[in-house]
Chain A
Amino acid sequence: MAISKFNYNSFNVTPVASKALAFNSDADGFTTASGSSMILIKTLTASSSANLSFVNGSSDVVLDDTYPVYKFLCINCHPSQQGGDGDEFSVGFRDGSTAYDASKTSTFFSSVHGEDGSGGAVAYRDSHDQANATGFQTLAVDMDADNDTQVSGELTLFNPSSTTFVKHFIWRGNHVHSSAGIQDTYVAGYCNVTAAIDAVQFKMSAGDIDAGVIKLYGIADS
Protein backbone atom coordinates (compact mmCIF):
# COMPACT_ATOMS: atom_id res chain seq x y z
CA MET A 1 0.00 0.00 0.00
CA ALA A 2 1.34 3.44 -0.86
CA ILE A 3 2.32 5.65 2.05
CA SER A 4 -0.03 8.58 2.48
CA LYS A 5 1.76 11.84 3.30
CA PHE A 6 0.42 15.21 4.32
CA ASN A 7 0.88 17.82 1.64
CA TYR A 8 1.21 21.58 2.10
CA ASN A 9 -2.53 22.07 1.71
CA SER A 10 -3.48 19.20 3.96
CA PHE A 11 -3.69 21.29 7.12
CA ASN A 12 -6.68 23.27 8.28
CA VAL A 13 -5.07 26.66 7.77
CA THR A 14 -4.53 28.87 4.74
CA PRO A 15 -0.92 28.50 3.53
CA VAL A 16 1.14 31.71 3.45
CA ALA A 17 4.41 31.80 1.58
CA SER A 18 7.54 31.46 3.75
CA LYS A 19 5.58 31.24 7.00
CA ALA A 20 5.76 28.45 9.56
CA LEU A 21 2.99 26.21 10.87
CA ALA A 22 2.15 26.87 14.50
CA PHE A 23 -0.57 26.35 17.07
CA ASN A 24 -2.85 29.33 17.62
CA SER A 25 -3.04 31.29 20.85
CA ASP A 26 -5.75 29.00 22.22
CA ALA A 27 -3.87 25.84 21.20
CA ASP A 28 -7.03 24.57 19.57
CA GLY A 29 -6.17 25.22 15.93
CA PHE A 30 -3.42 26.10 13.51
CA THR A 31 -2.08 29.46 12.46
CA THR A 32 0.78 30.73 10.35
CA ALA A 33 3.67 32.42 12.11
CA SER A 34 7.02 34.11 11.56
CA GLY A 35 10.33 33.75 13.33
CA SER A 36 12.71 36.53 14.20
CA SER A 37 13.68 39.00 11.49
CA MET A 38 17.33 38.93 12.57
CA ILE A 39 18.83 35.90 10.83
CA LEU A 40 22.33 34.63 11.60
CA ILE A 41 24.09 34.01 8.29
CA LYS A 42 27.70 33.29 9.19
CA THR A 43 30.04 33.17 12.18
CA LEU A 44 33.78 33.61 11.65
CA THR A 45 36.21 32.96 14.49
CA ALA A 46 39.69 34.46 14.39
CA SER A 47 42.76 32.44 15.27
CA SER A 48 45.82 34.49 14.38
CA SER A 49 43.91 35.47 11.24
CA ALA A 50 45.19 38.04 8.76
CA ASN A 51 41.58 39.05 8.19
CA LEU A 52 37.99 37.89 8.51
CA SER A 53 36.14 38.17 5.20
CA PHE A 54 32.48 37.73 4.34
CA VAL A 55 32.12 37.07 0.61
CA ASN A 56 28.73 36.65 -0.99
CA GLY A 57 28.32 33.15 -2.38
CA SER A 58 31.32 31.75 -0.57
CA SER A 59 31.23 29.52 2.52
CA ASP A 60 27.47 29.94 2.87
CA VAL A 61 27.72 33.72 3.10
CA VAL A 62 24.77 35.70 1.77
CA LEU A 63 25.44 39.39 1.08
CA ASP A 64 23.11 40.37 -1.73
CA ASP A 65 19.53 41.46 -2.22
CA THR A 66 18.19 38.72 0.05
CA TYR A 67 18.18 41.23 2.91
CA PRO A 68 17.93 45.03 2.76
CA VAL A 69 20.09 45.47 5.85
CA TYR A 70 23.05 43.50 7.18
CA LYS A 71 24.56 43.66 10.64
CA PHE A 72 28.04 42.55 11.71
CA LEU A 73 28.54 41.87 15.41
CA CYS A 74 32.19 41.94 16.47
CA ILE A 75 32.87 40.26 19.82
CA ASN A 76 36.16 40.37 21.70
CA CYS A 77 38.43 40.95 18.70
CA HIS A 78 41.98 40.98 20.01
CA PRO A 79 44.98 42.30 18.05
CA SER A 80 48.23 40.39 17.81
CA GLN A 81 50.34 43.51 18.20
CA GLN A 82 50.26 47.00 19.64
CA GLY A 83 51.88 50.18 18.46
CA GLY A 84 53.28 51.15 15.13
CA ASP A 85 50.72 50.35 12.48
CA GLY A 86 49.31 47.33 14.23
CA ASP A 87 46.77 48.83 16.52
CA GLU A 88 43.83 49.78 14.32
CA PHE A 89 40.80 47.59 13.70
CA SER A 90 39.40 48.37 10.27
CA VAL A 91 36.91 47.43 7.56
CA GLY A 92 36.93 47.42 3.77
CA PHE A 93 34.19 46.88 1.20
CA ARG A 94 34.38 45.10 -2.17
CA ASP A 95 32.59 46.70 -5.11
CA GLY A 96 33.06 44.50 -8.12
CA SER A 97 36.71 43.53 -8.24
CA THR A 98 38.60 41.25 -5.88
CA ALA A 99 39.94 44.20 -3.87
CA TYR A 100 38.33 45.70 -0.78
CA ASP A 101 38.76 49.23 -2.04
CA ALA A 102 35.35 50.84 -2.48
CA SER A 103 35.61 54.63 -2.29
CA LYS A 104 34.27 55.90 1.00
CA THR A 105 33.42 59.18 2.63
CA SER A 106 33.01 58.90 6.38
CA THR A 107 32.91 60.64 9.74
CA PHE A 108 34.63 59.51 12.93
CA PHE A 109 34.16 60.69 16.50
CA SER A 110 34.76 59.09 19.85
CA SER A 111 34.42 59.49 23.58
CA VAL A 112 37.40 58.59 25.77
CA HIS A 113 38.18 58.24 29.46
CA GLY A 114 41.21 56.78 31.22
CA GLU A 115 41.31 54.24 34.03
CA ASP A 116 43.26 56.84 36.03
CA GLY A 117 40.54 59.45 35.52
CA SER A 118 42.42 61.30 32.81
CA GLY A 119 40.93 62.40 29.52
CA GLY A 120 37.19 62.54 29.62
CA ALA A 121 36.27 64.03 26.26
CA VAL A 122 34.17 63.52 23.19
CA ALA A 123 35.59 64.85 19.95
CA TYR A 124 35.72 64.51 16.22
CA ARG A 125 38.92 62.72 15.12
CA ASP A 126 39.73 64.09 11.69
CA SER A 127 42.69 61.82 11.15
CA HIS A 128 40.41 58.81 10.91
CA ASP A 129 37.66 59.99 8.58
CA GLN A 130 37.81 59.49 4.84
CA ALA A 131 37.04 61.69 1.83
CA ASN A 132 36.36 59.53 -1.20
CA ALA A 133 39.26 57.32 -0.21
CA THR A 134 39.77 53.65 -1.04
CA GLY A 135 41.71 52.71 2.09
CA PHE A 136 40.29 50.61 4.90
CA GLN A 137 38.08 52.53 7.32
CA THR A 138 39.39 52.59 10.88
CA LEU A 139 36.87 51.42 13.47
CA ALA A 140 39.10 51.36 16.57
CA VAL A 141 42.37 53.26 17.06
CA ASP A 142 45.26 52.97 19.49
CA MET A 143 44.19 49.53 20.59
CA ASP A 144 45.75 47.97 23.62
CA ALA A 145 47.09 44.44 23.11
CA ASP A 146 47.15 43.21 26.70
CA ASN A 147 45.86 39.67 27.02
CA ASP A 148 42.58 40.86 28.51
CA THR A 149 41.73 43.70 26.11
CA GLN A 150 39.91 43.82 22.80
CA VAL A 151 37.28 45.60 20.69
CA SER A 152 33.56 44.84 20.50
CA GLY A 153 30.87 46.56 18.49
CA GLU A 154 28.47 46.37 15.60
CA LEU A 155 28.49 47.54 12.00
CA THR A 156 25.27 48.02 10.04
CA LEU A 157 25.39 48.01 6.23
CA PHE A 158 22.36 49.26 4.33
CA ASN A 159 21.14 47.91 1.01
CA PRO A 160 24.51 46.64 -0.28
CA SER A 161 22.99 45.17 -3.44
CA SER A 162 21.73 48.49 -4.78
CA THR A 163 23.18 49.48 -8.13
CA THR A 164 21.50 52.88 -7.92
CA PHE A 165 22.38 54.31 -4.54
CA VAL A 166 25.54 54.76 -2.52
CA LYS A 167 25.85 52.25 0.34
CA HIS A 168 25.61 53.63 3.88
CA PHE A 169 27.23 52.04 6.92
CA ILE A 170 27.21 52.85 10.65
CA TRP A 171 29.53 51.55 13.35
CA ARG A 172 29.49 51.86 17.13
CA GLY A 173 32.11 50.00 19.08
CA ASN A 174 34.26 50.28 22.14
CA HIS A 175 37.73 49.13 23.03
CA VAL A 176 40.51 49.53 25.55
CA HIS A 177 43.00 52.02 24.17
CA SER A 178 46.75 51.72 24.57
CA SER A 179 46.98 54.23 27.41
CA ALA A 180 44.51 52.15 29.47
CA GLY A 181 41.02 53.53 29.16
CA ILE A 182 37.76 53.27 27.30
CA GLN A 183 37.24 54.59 23.78
CA ASP A 184 33.63 54.63 22.51
CA THR A 185 33.78 55.09 18.73
CA TYR A 186 31.16 56.18 16.19
CA VAL A 187 31.81 55.87 12.49
CA ALA A 188 29.34 56.56 9.71
CA GLY A 189 29.83 56.79 6.01
CA TYR A 190 28.94 55.61 2.58
CA CYS A 191 30.61 53.66 -0.17
CA ASN A 192 30.40 56.21 -2.97
CA VAL A 193 29.83 53.63 -5.67
CA THR A 194 26.79 52.44 -7.57
CA ALA A 195 28.20 48.93 -7.97
CA ALA A 196 26.86 46.45 -5.45
CA ILE A 197 28.93 45.69 -2.35
CA ASP A 198 29.32 41.93 -2.33
CA ALA A 199 31.96 41.37 0.32
CA VAL A 200 33.22 42.92 3.56
CA GLN A 201 36.60 42.38 5.18
CA PHE A 202 37.78 43.17 8.72
CA LYS A 203 41.46 43.29 9.68
CA MET A 204 44.03 45.00 11.83
CA SER A 205 46.12 47.69 10.19
CA ALA A 206 49.11 45.38 10.72
CA GLY A 207 49.51 42.01 12.32
CA ASP A 208 46.65 39.61 12.86
CA ILE A 209 43.29 39.37 14.53
CA ASP A 210 44.63 37.17 17.26
CA ALA A 211 41.23 36.04 18.56
CA GLY A 212 37.59 37.03 18.41
CA VAL A 213 34.31 36.35 16.67
CA ILE A 214 32.46 38.26 13.97
CA LYS A 215 28.87 37.32 13.17
CA LEU A 216 26.93 38.38 10.07
CA TYR A 217 23.16 38.76 10.33
CA GLY A 218 20.57 39.57 7.72
CA ILE A 219 17.72 41.82 8.84
CA ALA A 220 14.62 40.73 7.00
CA ASP A 221 11.91 43.06 5.77
CA SER A 222 13.39 46.04 7.51
Chain B
Amino acid sequence: MALSKADVNNINVTAVASKAIQWNSAADGFEVGTLGGNMVLLTTATASSSANLTFDSSIDSTYNSYLFKFINIHPSASASFTVNFRDGSTAYDATKTTAYFRAYHQENAGGGVLAFDSFELNQSTAFQDLSGDSVITDNDSGISGALQLFGPSSTTFVKHFMANINSIKAGSSPEMKSSYTAGYCNVTAAIDGVQFKFDSGNIDSGIIKMYGIL
Protein backbone atom coordinates (compact mmCIF):
# COMPACT_ATOMS: atom_id res chain seq x y z
CA MET B 1 0.00 0.00 0.00
CA ALA B 2 1.33 3.41 -0.88
CA LEU B 3 2.46 5.53 2.03
CA SER B 4 0.01 8.34 2.59
CA LYS B 5 1.61 11.62 3.60
CA ALA B 6 0.05 14.93 4.54
CA ASP B 7 0.24 17.38 1.67
CA VAL B 8 0.08 21.14 1.58
CA ASN B 9 -3.71 21.25 1.52
CA ASN B 10 -4.03 18.93 4.50
CA ILE B 11 -2.99 21.61 6.98
CA ASN B 12 -5.78 23.79 8.29
CA VAL B 13 -4.25 27.10 7.26
CA THR B 14 -4.08 29.05 4.02
CA ALA B 15 -0.74 28.41 2.34
CA VAL B 16 1.48 31.47 1.79
CA ALA B 17 4.63 31.19 -0.29
CA SER B 18 7.90 30.84 1.64
CA LYS B 19 6.23 31.19 5.03
CA ALA B 20 6.58 28.75 7.89
CA ILE B 21 3.80 26.97 9.74
CA GLN B 22 3.42 27.86 13.38
CA TRP B 23 0.87 27.66 16.14
CA ASN B 24 -1.26 30.75 16.65
CA SER B 25 -1.07 32.95 19.74
CA ALA B 26 -3.74 30.90 21.52
CA ALA B 27 -1.97 27.66 20.63
CA ASP B 28 -5.28 26.28 19.38
CA GLY B 29 -4.68 26.44 15.65
CA PHE B 30 -2.11 26.96 12.93
CA GLU B 31 -1.03 30.16 11.22
CA VAL B 32 1.71 31.14 8.81
CA GLY B 33 4.66 33.07 10.16
CA THR B 34 8.13 34.31 9.41
CA LEU B 35 10.96 32.01 10.29
CA GLY B 36 12.59 32.87 13.58
CA GLY B 37 15.67 35.01 13.94
CA ASN B 38 16.82 38.17 15.59
CA MET B 39 17.97 40.16 12.57
CA VAL B 40 14.69 41.03 10.91
CA LEU B 41 14.48 42.56 7.45
CA LEU B 42 12.03 45.44 7.74
CA THR B 43 12.33 47.39 4.51
CA THR B 44 14.14 47.18 1.19
CA ALA B 45 14.44 50.44 -0.75
CA THR B 46 15.61 50.24 -4.35
CA ALA B 47 16.84 53.36 -6.07
CA SER B 48 15.92 54.25 -9.62
CA SER B 49 17.14 57.77 -10.32
CA SER B 50 15.90 58.60 -6.82
CA ALA B 51 16.48 61.96 -5.17
CA ASN B 52 16.82 60.10 -1.89
CA LEU B 53 16.01 56.85 -0.13
CA THR B 54 14.01 57.54 2.99
CA PHE B 55 13.02 55.24 5.85
CA ASP B 56 10.17 57.01 7.64
CA SER B 57 8.30 54.12 9.21
CA SER B 58 9.10 51.11 11.39
CA ILE B 59 11.77 52.99 13.36
CA ASP B 60 10.44 52.89 16.90
CA SER B 61 10.85 51.02 20.18
CA THR B 62 10.24 47.62 18.59
CA TYR B 63 13.99 47.14 18.21
CA ASN B 64 16.92 48.40 20.28
CA SER B 65 19.10 48.75 17.22
CA TYR B 66 18.61 49.23 13.49
CA LEU B 67 21.07 48.21 10.80
CA PHE B 68 21.15 49.69 7.28
CA LYS B 69 23.04 47.82 4.56
CA PHE B 70 24.11 49.67 1.40
CA ILE B 71 24.53 47.56 -1.70
CA ASN B 72 26.02 49.01 -4.88
CA ILE B 73 24.76 52.56 -4.46
CA HIS B 74 25.55 54.34 -7.71
CA PRO B 75 25.39 58.13 -8.15
CA SER B 76 24.10 59.96 -11.19
CA ALA B 77 26.79 62.63 -10.69
CA SER B 78 30.07 62.75 -8.84
CA ALA B 79 28.94 63.56 -5.31
CA SER B 80 29.15 62.60 -1.64
CA PHE B 81 26.84 59.99 -0.11
CA THR B 82 25.16 61.44 2.98
CA VAL B 83 22.71 60.69 5.80
CA ASN B 84 20.46 62.64 8.11
CA PHE B 85 17.94 61.88 10.82
CA ARG B 86 14.40 63.07 11.64
CA ASP B 87 13.75 64.06 15.24
CA GLY B 88 10.15 65.10 15.55
CA SER B 89 9.39 67.34 12.62
CA THR B 90 9.17 66.43 8.97
CA ALA B 91 12.71 67.66 8.33
CA TYR B 92 15.83 65.53 8.37
CA ASP B 93 17.87 67.90 10.47
CA ALA B 94 18.74 66.37 13.85
CA THR B 95 21.68 68.11 15.50
CA LYS B 96 24.78 65.93 15.28
CA THR B 97 28.36 65.77 16.48
CA THR B 98 30.48 63.28 14.54
CA ALA B 99 33.99 62.03 13.90
CA TYR B 100 35.30 60.83 10.56
CA PHE B 101 38.48 59.06 9.50
CA ARG B 102 39.41 57.04 6.46
CA ALA B 103 41.99 54.84 4.84
CA TYR B 104 42.64 55.21 1.14
CA HIS B 105 44.79 53.67 -1.57
CA GLN B 106 44.84 54.48 -5.26
CA GLU B 107 44.85 52.15 -8.26
CA ASN B 108 48.26 53.58 -9.26
CA ALA B 109 49.55 52.60 -5.78
CA GLY B 110 49.43 56.18 -4.50
CA GLY B 111 48.10 56.99 -1.09
CA GLY B 112 48.15 54.25 1.48
CA VAL B 113 47.10 56.63 4.23
CA LEU B 114 45.03 56.44 7.41
CA ALA B 115 43.97 59.78 8.88
CA PHE B 116 41.20 61.89 10.37
CA ASP B 117 39.60 64.03 7.68
CA SER B 118 37.49 67.15 7.58
CA PHE B 119 34.07 65.61 7.05
CA GLU B 120 33.10 65.72 10.70
CA LEU B 121 30.23 67.78 12.11
CA ASN B 122 29.98 69.65 15.37
CA GLN B 123 26.46 70.38 16.58
CA SER B 124 25.28 70.67 13.01
CA THR B 125 21.92 69.96 11.43
CA ALA B 126 23.52 69.32 8.02
CA PHE B 127 23.67 65.94 6.31
CA GLN B 128 26.65 63.81 7.37
CA ASP B 129 29.04 62.83 4.58
CA LEU B 130 29.53 59.06 4.79
CA SER B 131 31.79 58.64 1.75
CA GLY B 132 34.20 61.46 2.55
CA ASP B 133 34.19 63.36 -0.72
CA SER B 134 32.76 62.73 -4.15
CA VAL B 135 32.65 59.28 -5.64
CA ILE B 136 33.10 58.44 -9.29
CA THR B 137 30.23 57.64 -11.62
CA ASP B 138 31.83 54.91 -13.72
CA ASN B 139 29.28 52.27 -14.61
CA ASP B 140 31.10 49.63 -12.59
CA SER B 141 31.58 51.63 -9.41
CA GLY B 142 29.38 52.17 -6.41
CA ILE B 143 29.20 52.39 -2.65
CA SER B 144 28.64 49.53 -0.24
CA GLY B 145 28.70 49.40 3.53
CA ALA B 146 26.54 49.66 6.61
CA LEU B 147 25.24 52.07 9.23
CA GLN B 148 24.04 51.04 12.68
CA LEU B 149 21.70 53.20 14.78
CA PHE B 150 21.32 52.53 18.50
CA GLY B 151 18.23 53.11 20.64
CA PRO B 152 16.46 55.58 18.32
CA SER B 153 13.27 55.62 20.36
CA SER B 154 14.96 56.81 23.56
CA THR B 155 13.69 60.15 24.84
CA THR B 156 16.40 60.20 27.53
CA PHE B 157 19.68 59.58 25.75
CA VAL B 158 21.42 60.96 22.69
CA LYS B 159 21.28 58.60 19.72
CA HIS B 160 24.56 56.97 18.63
CA PHE B 161 25.27 55.78 15.11
CA MET B 162 28.32 54.36 13.35
CA ALA B 163 29.03 53.60 9.72
CA ASN B 164 31.67 51.98 7.55
CA ILE B 165 31.51 52.69 3.82
CA ASN B 166 33.61 51.50 0.91
CA SER B 167 33.66 53.89 -2.02
CA ILE B 168 35.76 54.92 -5.00
CA LYS B 169 36.80 58.54 -4.99
CA ALA B 170 36.92 60.55 -8.18
CA GLY B 171 40.41 61.71 -9.18
CA SER B 172 43.31 61.25 -11.54
CA SER B 173 43.65 57.72 -10.25
CA PRO B 174 40.60 55.97 -8.81
CA GLU B 175 40.95 55.73 -5.10
CA MET B 176 39.60 53.03 -2.82
CA LYS B 177 38.33 54.77 0.28
CA SER B 178 37.21 53.07 3.45
CA SER B 179 35.35 55.62 5.57
CA TYR B 180 34.59 55.32 9.28
CA THR B 181 31.99 57.68 10.67
CA ALA B 182 30.57 57.72 14.18
CA GLY B 183 28.48 60.25 15.99
CA TYR B 184 25.38 61.02 17.93
CA CYS B 185 22.21 62.93 17.35
CA ASN B 186 22.41 65.33 20.27
CA VAL B 187 18.68 65.34 20.85
CA THR B 188 16.46 63.66 23.39
CA ALA B 189 13.53 63.46 20.98
CA ALA B 190 13.16 60.06 19.35
CA ILE B 191 14.62 59.51 15.90
CA ASP B 192 11.81 58.20 13.69
CA GLY B 193 13.22 58.63 10.19
CA VAL B 194 16.50 58.25 8.32
CA GLN B 195 17.27 59.65 4.88
CA PHE B 196 20.14 58.87 2.52
CA LYS B 197 21.04 60.92 -0.55
CA PHE B 198 23.89 62.30 -2.61
CA ASP B 199 24.70 65.94 -2.01
CA SER B 200 24.00 66.57 -5.69
CA GLY B 201 22.23 64.56 -8.34
CA ASN B 202 20.34 61.34 -7.73
CA ILE B 203 20.88 57.86 -6.45
CA ASP B 204 21.00 56.33 -9.88
CA SER B 205 20.64 52.74 -8.64
CA GLY B 206 21.31 50.60 -5.63
CA ILE B 207 19.62 49.00 -2.67
CA ILE B 208 19.39 49.92 0.98
CA LYS B 209 18.00 47.35 3.39
CA MET B 210 16.88 48.19 6.91
CA TYR B 211 16.98 45.48 9.58
CA GLY B 212 15.72 45.52 13.14
CA ILE B 213 17.94 43.79 15.68
CA LEU B 214 15.83 42.15 18.38
List of 9 A-B pairs having minimum Cβ-Cβ separation, nearest first: A36-B37, A184-B182, A152-B150, A35-B35, A122-B101, A35-B36, A113-B99, A40-B38, A174-B182
Report the minimal beta-carbon distance from A11 to chain B, rounded to whole angstroms.
Answer: 5
What would 16 A/B residue contacts be, using CB atoms closer than 8 Å?
A: A6-B6, A20-B35, A20-B36, A21-B21, A23-B19, A24-B18, A33-B20, A76-B156, A78-B157, A111-B116, A150-B158, A152-B151, A154-B148, A176-B184, A182-B98, A215-B213
Contact status A30-B188, CB under 8 Å: no
| 12 further interface pairs, Cβ-Cβ under 8 Å (given A22-B18, A111-B180) | A11-B5, A23-B8, A24-B17, A36-B38, A75-B151, A76-B156, A76-B157, A112-B99, A148-B188, A152-B65, A153-B162, A182-B99
CA distance A40 to B40 in the complex (A): 12
Contact digits for B19-62, partner A, Cβ 8 Å, 1 yes 0 no: 11100000000001001111110000000000000000000000
Which of B19, B38, B40, B65 touches A75 (beta carbons < 8 Å)?
Answer: B65
Contact status A148-B183, CB under 8 Å: no
Report the minimal beta-carbon distance from A171 to chain B, rounded to whole angstroms.
Answer: 12
Q: Which residues of B sit under 8 angstroms from A174, Cβ to Cβ? A: 160, 162, 182-184
Contact status A39-B37, CB under 8 Å: yes
Report the minimal beta-carbon distance from B71 to chain A, rounded to whole angstroms.
Answer: 18
Contact digits for B89-106, partner A, Cβ 8 Å, 1 yes 0 no: 000000001111100000
Contact status A115-B101, CB under 8 Å: no
Contact digits for A1-23, partner B, Cβ 8 Å, 1 yes 0 no: 00000100111100000001111
CA distance A28 to B15 in the complex (A): 7
B186 at the binding interface (Cβ < 8 Å): yes
Contact status B180-A38, CB under 8 Å: no
Give the number of residues in B that approach A within 8 Å (Cβ atoms): 50
Report the minimal beta-carbon distance from B154 to chain A, rounded to whole angstroms.
Answer: 6
Given contacts A73-B64, A76-B154, A213-B64, contact A120 B97 (CB under 8 A): no
Which of B20, B123, B181 touches A115 (beta carbons < 8 Å)?
Answer: B123
Contact status A176-B158, CB under 8 Å: yes
Total number of A-B contacts with CB less than 8 angstroms?
Answer: 162
B122 at the binding interface (Cβ < 8 Å): yes
A83 at the binding interface (Cβ < 8 Å): no
CA distance A122 to B97 in the complex (A): 15
CA distance A27 to B97 in the complex (A): 49
Given contacts A10-B6, A22-B21, A150-B157, contact A182 B182 (CB under 8 A): yes
CA distance A30 to B13 in the complex (A): 13
CA distance A137 to B52 in the complex (A): 41
The listed residue with most A CB atoms (<10 A of its CB), out of B21, B32, B160, is B160
Contact digits for A26-50, partner B, Cβ 8 Å, 1 yes 0 no: 1111100111111110000000000
Contact status A73-B162, CB under 8 Å: no
Contact status A39-B97, CB under 8 Å: no
Which of B20, B151, B156, B184 touches A22 (beta carbons < 8 Å)?
Answer: B20
Contact status B151-A184, CB under 8 Å: no
A116 at the binding interface (Cβ < 8 Å): yes
A172 at the binding interface (Cβ < 8 Å): yes
A114 at the binding interface (Cβ < 8 Å): yes
A98 at the binding interface (Cβ < 8 Å): no
B120 at the binding interface (Cβ < 8 Å): yes
Report the minimal beta-carbon distance from B162 to chain A, rounded to whole angstroms.
Answer: 6
A117 at the binding interface (Cβ < 8 Å): yes
Which of B17, B20, B156, B186 touches A21 (beta carbons < 8 Å)?
Answer: B20
Interface residues of A in 111-168 (CB under 8 A from B): 111-117, 120-122, 147-154
B115 at the binding interface (Cβ < 8 Å): yes
Contact status B6-A12, CB under 8 Å: yes
